[in-house]
Structure 1
Amino acid sequence: MADSEVAAAIDSVNEKMMKFYNEGDMKSVSELYTEDCKFMPPGKEILRGRKAVEEVLQNMKDSGAAKAFFKSMESTSFGDYAYDWCTYTLFKEDGTVLDKGKGLAIWKKVDGDYYYHVDLINSSL
Protein backbone atom coordinates (compact mmCIF):
# COMPACT_ATOMS: atom_id res chain seq x y z
CA MET A 1 0.00 0.00 0.00
CA ALA A 2 1.37 3.40 -0.98
CA ASP A 3 1.95 5.89 1.83
CA SER A 4 -0.83 8.10 0.43
CA GLU A 5 -3.25 5.16 0.72
CA VAL A 6 -2.06 4.49 4.28
CA ALA A 7 -2.53 8.16 5.14
CA ALA A 8 -6.07 8.05 3.72
CA ALA A 9 -6.86 4.89 5.74
CA ILE A 10 -5.51 6.46 8.94
CA ASP A 11 -7.36 9.72 8.29
CA SER A 12 -10.56 7.70 7.90
CA VAL A 13 -10.05 5.99 11.27
CA ASN A 14 -9.22 9.32 12.91
CA GLU A 15 -12.45 10.82 11.51
CA LYS A 16 -14.36 7.94 13.10
CA MET A 17 -12.47 8.44 16.36
CA MET A 18 -13.34 12.14 16.52
CA LYS A 19 -16.99 11.42 15.67
CA PHE A 20 -17.33 8.67 18.28
CA TYR A 21 -15.46 10.63 20.97
CA ASN A 22 -17.46 13.80 20.35
CA GLU A 23 -20.70 11.79 20.56
CA GLY A 24 -19.54 10.16 23.82
CA ASP A 25 -19.33 6.64 22.33
CA MET A 26 -16.10 5.43 23.94
CA LYS A 27 -16.93 1.77 23.29
CA SER A 28 -16.78 2.47 19.53
CA VAL A 29 -13.57 4.49 19.99
CA SER A 30 -11.96 1.56 21.80
CA GLU A 31 -12.84 -0.75 18.91
CA LEU A 32 -10.53 1.33 16.69
CA TYR A 33 -7.66 -0.17 18.72
CA THR A 34 -6.24 -3.69 18.52
CA GLU A 35 -7.36 -5.99 21.31
CA ASP A 36 -3.80 -6.04 22.71
CA CYS A 37 -3.14 -2.32 22.25
CA LYS A 38 -0.91 -0.15 24.43
CA PHE A 39 -2.25 3.32 25.30
CA MET A 40 0.01 5.98 26.83
CA PRO A 41 -1.96 9.13 27.72
CA PRO A 42 -0.33 11.98 29.68
CA GLY A 43 0.07 11.38 33.41
CA LYS A 44 -0.74 7.66 33.25
CA GLU A 45 1.19 4.43 33.23
CA ILE A 46 1.10 2.28 30.10
CA LEU A 47 -2.44 0.96 29.72
CA ARG A 48 -3.25 -2.25 27.88
CA GLY A 49 -6.33 -3.34 26.01
CA ARG A 50 -9.51 -1.82 24.67
CA LYS A 51 -11.29 -1.65 28.03
CA ALA A 52 -8.51 0.59 29.42
CA VAL A 53 -8.78 2.90 26.40
CA GLU A 54 -12.54 3.11 26.85
CA GLU A 55 -12.27 3.91 30.56
CA VAL A 56 -9.55 6.57 30.25
CA LEU A 57 -11.30 8.34 27.39
CA GLN A 58 -14.62 8.27 29.25
CA ASN A 59 -12.87 9.81 32.27
CA MET A 60 -11.39 12.52 30.00
CA LYS A 61 -14.83 13.26 28.57
CA ASP A 62 -16.41 13.31 32.03
CA SER A 63 -13.65 15.64 33.26
CA GLY A 64 -14.51 18.32 30.71
CA ALA A 65 -12.81 17.33 27.45
CA ALA A 66 -16.06 17.67 25.49
CA LYS A 67 -14.65 17.61 21.94
CA ALA A 68 -11.48 16.26 20.34
CA PHE A 69 -9.73 17.20 17.11
CA PHE A 70 -6.84 15.21 15.58
CA LYS A 71 -4.73 16.13 12.56
CA SER A 72 -2.40 13.55 11.08
CA MET A 73 0.88 15.12 10.01
CA GLU A 74 2.78 12.17 8.53
CA SER A 75 2.02 8.50 7.92
CA THR A 76 4.36 5.81 6.64
CA SER A 77 3.80 2.08 6.30
CA PHE A 78 6.13 -0.86 6.81
CA GLY A 79 4.57 -4.25 6.11
CA ASP A 80 1.44 -4.80 8.19
CA TYR A 81 2.32 -1.80 10.37
CA ALA A 82 2.35 1.95 9.91
CA TYR A 83 3.34 4.87 12.05
CA ASP A 84 1.66 8.22 12.22
CA TRP A 85 2.33 11.37 14.15
CA CYS A 86 -0.37 13.91 14.75
CA THR A 87 -1.42 16.98 16.64
CA TYR A 88 -4.51 17.10 18.82
CA THR A 89 -6.68 19.64 20.57
CA LEU A 90 -9.22 18.97 23.30
CA PHE A 91 -11.99 21.50 23.80
CA LYS A 92 -14.28 22.31 26.70
CA GLU A 93 -18.02 22.41 26.05
CA ASP A 94 -17.84 26.21 25.53
CA GLY A 95 -15.22 25.76 22.79
CA THR A 96 -12.18 26.94 24.74
CA VAL A 97 -9.02 24.85 24.53
CA LEU A 98 -8.56 22.44 27.42
CA ASP A 99 -5.40 20.75 26.14
CA LYS A 100 -3.31 20.46 23.01
CA GLY A 101 -0.35 18.36 22.09
CA LYS A 102 1.08 15.75 19.81
CA GLY A 103 0.84 12.04 19.42
CA LEU A 104 2.69 9.14 17.89
CA ALA A 105 0.90 5.95 16.94
CA ILE A 106 1.92 2.59 15.59
CA TRP A 107 -0.90 1.10 13.57
CA LYS A 108 -1.41 -2.60 12.88
CA LYS A 109 -3.25 -4.01 9.90
CA VAL A 110 -5.76 -6.64 10.99
CA ASP A 111 -7.97 -8.32 8.37
CA GLY A 112 -7.16 -5.55 5.89
CA ASP A 113 -7.91 -2.60 8.17
CA TYR A 114 -5.59 -0.43 10.25
CA TYR A 115 -6.10 -0.20 14.02
CA TYR A 116 -4.25 1.77 16.68
CA HIS A 117 -1.77 -0.68 18.21
CA VAL A 118 0.47 1.64 20.27
CA ASP A 119 -0.79 5.15 20.98
CA LEU A 120 1.38 7.71 22.77
CA ILE A 121 -0.09 11.13 23.59
CA ASN A 122 2.00 14.01 24.91
CA SER A 123 0.49 17.30 26.08
CA SER A 124 2.18 20.53 25.04
CA LEU A 125 0.67 22.43 27.97
Structure 2
Amino acid sequence: MRTNLVMIALFLLASLSVFAQKDMKAPIMAANQKFMDAFSKGATTLNTLYTTDAQLFPPNSDIIKGNTAIGTFWVGAFGSGVKKAKLETLEAQQDGNSIVEVGRYILYGANDAQLDMGKYMVVWKQENGDWKLYRDIFNTSTPPATASK
Protein backbone atom coordinates (compact mmCIF):
# COMPACT_ATOMS: atom_id res chain seq x y z
CA MET A 1 0.00 0.00 0.00
CA ARG A 2 2.76 2.43 0.97
CA THR A 3 4.60 1.65 -2.26
CA ASN A 4 1.47 2.49 -4.26
CA LEU A 5 1.09 5.84 -2.48
CA VAL A 6 4.74 6.69 -3.15
CA MET A 7 4.34 5.80 -6.83
CA ILE A 8 1.17 7.89 -7.12
CA ALA A 9 2.89 10.84 -5.44
CA LEU A 10 5.87 10.57 -7.81
CA PHE A 11 3.55 10.39 -10.81
CA LEU A 12 1.68 13.51 -9.67
CA LEU A 13 4.93 15.43 -9.12
CA ALA A 14 6.17 14.45 -12.57
CA SER A 15 2.85 15.51 -14.08
CA LEU A 16 3.00 18.90 -12.37
CA SER A 17 6.45 19.63 -13.80
CA VAL A 18 5.14 18.86 -17.30
CA PHE A 19 2.23 21.25 -16.78
CA ALA A 20 4.58 23.95 -15.45
CA GLN A 21 6.30 24.06 -18.83
CA LYS A 22 4.16 25.62 -21.51
CA ASP A 23 4.77 25.68 -25.25
CA MET A 24 5.39 29.31 -26.16
CA LYS A 25 6.41 28.88 -29.78
CA ALA A 26 3.81 31.29 -31.24
CA PRO A 27 4.70 34.41 -29.19
CA ILE A 28 8.42 33.77 -29.63
CA MET A 29 8.02 33.35 -33.39
CA ALA A 30 6.21 36.71 -33.43
CA ALA A 31 9.04 38.31 -31.44
CA ASN A 32 11.57 36.77 -33.82
CA GLN A 33 9.70 38.26 -36.77
CA LYS A 34 10.23 41.69 -35.18
CA PHE A 35 13.94 40.84 -34.90
CA MET A 36 14.18 39.80 -38.56
CA ASP A 37 12.27 42.89 -39.73
CA ALA A 38 14.42 45.25 -37.65
CA PHE A 39 17.62 43.56 -38.82
CA SER A 40 16.74 43.91 -42.50
CA LYS A 41 16.06 47.64 -41.95
CA GLY A 42 19.58 48.33 -40.72
CA ALA A 43 19.47 46.76 -37.24
CA THR A 44 19.25 50.22 -35.63
CA THR A 45 16.32 49.28 -33.37
CA LEU A 46 17.41 45.77 -32.37
CA ASN A 47 18.52 47.01 -28.95
CA THR A 48 14.86 47.60 -28.04
CA LEU A 49 14.16 43.87 -28.40
CA TYR A 50 16.61 43.02 -25.59
CA THR A 51 16.14 43.55 -21.86
CA THR A 52 18.18 46.39 -20.39
CA ASP A 53 20.43 43.87 -18.63
CA ALA A 54 20.67 41.44 -21.55
CA GLN A 55 23.80 39.55 -22.48
CA LEU A 56 24.87 38.42 -25.96
CA PHE A 57 27.33 35.54 -26.42
CA PRO A 58 28.51 35.75 -30.05
CA PRO A 59 31.11 33.34 -31.40
CA ASN A 60 34.77 34.40 -31.23
CA SER A 61 33.94 37.27 -28.90
CA ASP A 62 33.61 38.12 -25.24
CA ILE A 63 30.19 38.59 -23.61
CA ILE A 64 28.42 41.78 -24.70
CA LYS A 65 26.41 43.27 -21.84
CA GLY A 66 23.41 45.61 -21.97
CA ASN A 67 20.96 46.33 -24.74
CA THR A 68 22.84 49.45 -25.91
CA ALA A 69 26.08 47.52 -26.49
CA ILE A 70 24.15 44.65 -28.07
CA GLY A 71 22.45 47.10 -30.43
CA THR A 72 25.86 48.45 -31.42
CA PHE A 73 27.02 44.88 -32.14
CA TRP A 74 24.09 44.22 -34.49
CA VAL A 75 24.47 47.57 -36.29
CA GLY A 76 28.13 46.63 -36.80
CA ALA A 77 27.13 43.22 -38.19
CA PHE A 78 24.76 44.91 -40.63
CA GLY A 79 27.49 47.37 -41.62
CA SER A 80 29.94 44.52 -42.21
CA GLY A 81 27.67 42.97 -44.83
CA VAL A 82 25.07 40.87 -43.01
CA LYS A 83 21.83 42.21 -44.46
CA LYS A 84 19.21 39.71 -43.36
CA ALA A 85 18.66 37.07 -40.68
CA LYS A 86 16.25 34.17 -40.87
CA LEU A 87 15.32 32.62 -37.52
CA GLU A 88 13.57 29.27 -37.10
CA THR A 89 12.19 28.42 -33.67
CA LEU A 90 12.49 24.69 -33.04
CA GLU A 91 11.14 24.81 -29.49
CA ALA A 92 10.15 27.40 -26.93
CA GLN A 93 9.17 26.30 -23.44
CA GLN A 94 8.02 28.57 -20.65
CA ASP A 95 9.27 27.74 -17.21
CA GLY A 96 8.14 30.26 -14.63
CA ASN A 97 9.00 33.83 -15.65
CA SER A 98 11.21 32.88 -18.56
CA ILE A 99 11.09 31.09 -21.89
CA VAL A 100 13.92 29.03 -23.28
CA GLU A 101 14.06 28.94 -27.07
CA VAL A 102 16.18 26.69 -29.27
CA GLY A 103 16.44 27.42 -32.95
CA ARG A 104 18.40 27.72 -36.18
CA TYR A 105 19.51 30.79 -38.07
CA ILE A 106 20.69 31.70 -41.54
CA LEU A 107 22.49 34.99 -42.22
CA TYR A 108 22.37 36.58 -45.67
CA GLY A 109 24.40 39.26 -47.38
CA ALA A 110 23.71 41.34 -50.46
CA ASN A 111 21.53 39.69 -53.12
CA ASP A 112 20.44 37.08 -50.56
CA ALA A 113 23.82 35.34 -50.63
CA GLN A 114 24.00 32.94 -47.69
CA LEU A 115 26.85 33.92 -45.37
CA ASP A 116 26.37 31.62 -42.41
CA MET A 117 24.04 29.13 -40.81
CA GLY A 118 23.95 27.85 -37.28
CA LYS A 119 22.01 27.29 -34.11
CA TYR A 120 21.07 29.42 -31.14
CA MET A 121 19.57 29.37 -27.69
CA VAL A 122 17.77 32.34 -26.15
CA VAL A 123 16.38 32.89 -22.67
CA TRP A 124 13.48 35.34 -22.91
CA LYS A 125 12.11 37.43 -20.05
CA GLN A 126 9.23 39.86 -19.86
CA GLU A 127 10.10 43.52 -19.53
CA ASN A 128 7.36 46.16 -19.59
CA GLY A 129 4.86 43.52 -20.72
CA ASP A 130 6.87 42.34 -23.75
CA TRP A 131 8.93 39.19 -24.17
CA LYS A 132 12.52 40.31 -24.74
CA LEU A 133 15.83 38.57 -25.27
CA TYR A 134 17.64 38.22 -21.95
CA ARG A 135 20.46 35.78 -22.79
CA ASP A 136 21.34 35.14 -26.43
CA ILE A 137 24.00 32.68 -27.63
CA PHE A 138 24.62 31.48 -31.16
CA ASN A 139 27.28 29.66 -33.12
CA THR A 140 27.89 28.53 -36.64
CA SER A 141 27.16 25.11 -38.06
CA THR A 142 29.42 25.83 -41.04
CA PRO A 143 32.66 23.87 -40.85
CA PRO A 144 35.83 25.97 -40.84
CA ALA A 145 37.53 26.45 -44.18
CA THR A 146 40.56 24.25 -44.61
CA ALA A 147 43.74 25.81 -45.82
CA SER A 148 45.03 24.42 -49.10
CA LYS A 149 48.72 23.75 -49.58
Q: TM-score under structure 1 normalisation?
A: 0.92
Alignment of 1:55-70 (within 5 A): 55-70=72-87
In structure 2, stretches of 5+ residues that fail to align are: 1-19, 143-149
Higher relative contact order, structure no. (Cα contacts within 8 Å, ≥ 6 residues apart)? 1
In structure 1, stretches of 5+ residues that fail to align are: none
Runs of 4+ in structure 1 off by over 6 angstroms are none
Tell me how far 1:96 sits from its aligned partner: 1.4
How far apart, CA to CA, are the structure 1 residues paired with 2:125 and 2:138? Answer: 17
Q: How many residues align?
A: 123
Tell me if 1:7 matches 2:57.
no
1:92 to 95, 109, 113: 109
Q: Which has the higher helix share?
A: 2
How far apart, CA to CA, are the structure 2 residues paired with 1:2 and 1:79? Answer: 8
Pairwise CA RMSD = 1.5
- Equivalent residue letter for 1:101: G
Q: Which has the higher strand share?
A: 1
Match of 2:35 in 1: 17
Of residues 102-111 and 12-21 in structure 1, the stretch that sits farther from structure 2 once superposed is 102-111
Q: Is the 8 A contact 2:22 2:95 kept in 1?
A: no
Q: What is the DSSP-based 3-state SS (H/G/I as helix, E as strand, rest coil) of the residue aligned with 2:111?
A: coil
Match of 2:11 in 1: none
Match of 2:10 in 1: none
- Equivalent residue letter for 1:117: Y
Match of 2:121 in 1: 104
How far apart, CA to CA, are the structure 1 residues paired with 2:126 and 2:68? Answer: 20
1:32 to 44, 49, 57: 49
The CA deviation string for residues 97-124 of structure 1, in whole angstroms up to 9 with x for no partner, is 1111000010112233211000001111
Match of 1:80 in 2: 97
Tell me how far 1:2 sits from its aligned partner: 7.2
Tell me how far 1:92 sits from its aligned partner: 1.1
How far apart, CA to CA, are the structure 1 residues paired with 2:74 and 2:58? Answer: 9
Match of 2:5 in 1: none
Task: Give the % identical residues.
Answer: 28
